[in-house]
């Protein structure tokens, strides 16, 4: 299992080194601390991450070629004449609903629920 040691380099830029074992990386960290005075160090273990590939196709039509192709395929045709529209439009008819009074028989009240259920009250 590989390990990586991250530490600041001589010019304070981030640096790293890979090692084939944890022991080698620990010895390098000891060297950085004791010989070079570097204490801002981190050690990471590298593990393989499985990846899978899927085919992906993207279709594009170049804009210049599309305009040329359309103009070549469709011959120019004159526009059809437009008939004039009569400006006077009739008023829409709106019907107002009529109010209907409902007679309530004795014993049928809104409190017993029969009026509110209509057909299903029987």
Structural domain containing residue 35: 3-45
Residue 85 lies inside a defined structural domain of this protein: no
Q: Is residue 67 part of a domain?
A: no
37 inside domain: yes
Query: pLDDT averaged over consecutive 10-residue blocks of the chain (122 residues)?
Result: 93 93 96 94 94 91 73 64 65 64 56 53 49
User: Is 18 a domain residue?
Assistant: yes
Find the largest Cα–Cα distance for the chain: 107
Identify whether 98 is part of a domain.
no
- What pTM, to 2 d.p., does this model score? 0.43
Token output for 122: 């029987």
- Structural domains in the chain (count): 1
pLDDT at 60: 87
């Amino acid at each position: 299992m590989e390990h990586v040691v991250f530490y600041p380099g001589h010019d304070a830029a981030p640096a790293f080194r890979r090692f084939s074992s944890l022991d080698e990386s620990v010895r390098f960290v000891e060297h950085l601390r004791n010989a070079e005075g570097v204490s801002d160090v981190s050690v990471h273990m590298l593990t393989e991450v499985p990846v899978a590939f899927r085919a992906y196709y993207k279709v594009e039509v170049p804009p210049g070629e599309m305009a040329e192709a359309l103009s070549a395929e469709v011959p120019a045709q004159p526009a059809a004449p437009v008939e004039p529209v009569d400006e006077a439009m009739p008023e829409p008819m709106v019907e107002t609903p009529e109010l209907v009074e409902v007679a309530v028989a004795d014993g049928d009240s809104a409190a017993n629920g029969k009026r509110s259920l209509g057909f299903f009250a029987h």
